[in-house]
Structure 1
Amino acid sequence: MTPPPRTVRAAGCVLWRRAPGGGIEVCLVHRPEYDDWSLPKGKLKRGESELAGALREVLEETGRHCVPGARLPTVRYEAKGRPKEVAYWAAEATGGTFRPNAEVDRVLWLPPRAARARLTHARDRDLVPALLAALGVE
């Protein structure tokens, strides 16, 4: 009898910033390998904590430093035939510059409603209202 596949553990952030005209904007990343719009996230390295992995992935994928805030819901789904679990945090961008790379070729900063509509996967969309609730904004 074959044991069930091990769960892939990953972490990421719903990265946000204060918009110039008021309100907030959410950062989405475009992954050319999948041609999708997603939130910055990635697999944890051996021995890495979820929060450390989330912050590392944000920096690698967006070039942005950030300050983590509230823990957001964990997203669970199947990827490449294995269960995957992604822990998320709200995180405010504090600085840095995006440079296209092999994993992420574009980023978009959008108002929450537009960000939610642009996200490719339904599993990511519920994280936007979770972010707004955590920040106490609508």
Structure 2
Amino acid sequence: MTQTNDTLILAAGCVLWRRSPVDGELEICLVHRPKYDDWSHPKGKLKRGEDPVTGALREVEEETGYTAVPGGELATLRYMVNGRPKQVRYWAAEASGGHFTPNEEVDRILWLSPAAARSRLTQFRDRTLVDELFTAS
């Protein structure tokens, strides 16, 4: 029997960006998750029945402490996690306020230039999202 769709993990996240308070250049926020010792875009599993963009913004705030204004939808990434398929929908989102406080899930964040963010991301699949940010409306 083939695997059914009910095992699909649904998640959402954002490529969170802002203009640098120093020079006005674009900066992208990456989160460090100590459990996996990785750098990624803020994302997480959707609650049952939760609208994906609402879930993406909730995860951004939970992981980074920042509220955000959603922009264009970016790529949906699909990959396997512990033998289960995972689907993560992403949006571009501009940080609109807040500040980071380390928590159990995320112990550090970095605001980086797009080039530095691409290099720092642990998963290669996450890098294309940085490029897409420039074409999202």
Q: TM-score range by the shorter chain?
A: over 0.9
Aligned AA for 1:129? Answer: D
Structure 1: runs of 5+ lacking an equivalent: none
CA distance in 2, matches of 1:49, 1:12: 12
Tell me what 1:106 maps to: 108
Residue of structure 2 in register with 1:81 after alignment: 83
Equivalent AA in structure 1 for residue 136 of structure 2 = A
TM-score, structure 1 as length reference: 0.94
Matches within 5 A, 1:1-138: 1=1, 3-4=3-4, 6-19=7-20, 20-134=22-136
Identity, % of aligned positions = 64
Unaligned runs of 5+ in 2: none
CA RMSD of aligned residues (A): 1.2
Tell me the CA shift for residue 97 of structure 1.
1.0
Listed one character per residue, the Cα deviations across residues 13-47 of structure 1 (whole Å, up to 9, x for unaligned) are 00000013132000000000000000000000001
Q: CA deviation at 1:2?
A: 6.0
Query: What's the CA shift for 1:4?
Result: 3.7
Q: Which aligned segments of 4 or more residues in structure 1 are displaced greater than 6 angstroms?
A: none
Distance 1:92 1:80 in 2: 32
Q: Say how many residue pairs are matched.
A: 135
Aligned-partner residue type, residue 128 of structure 2: D
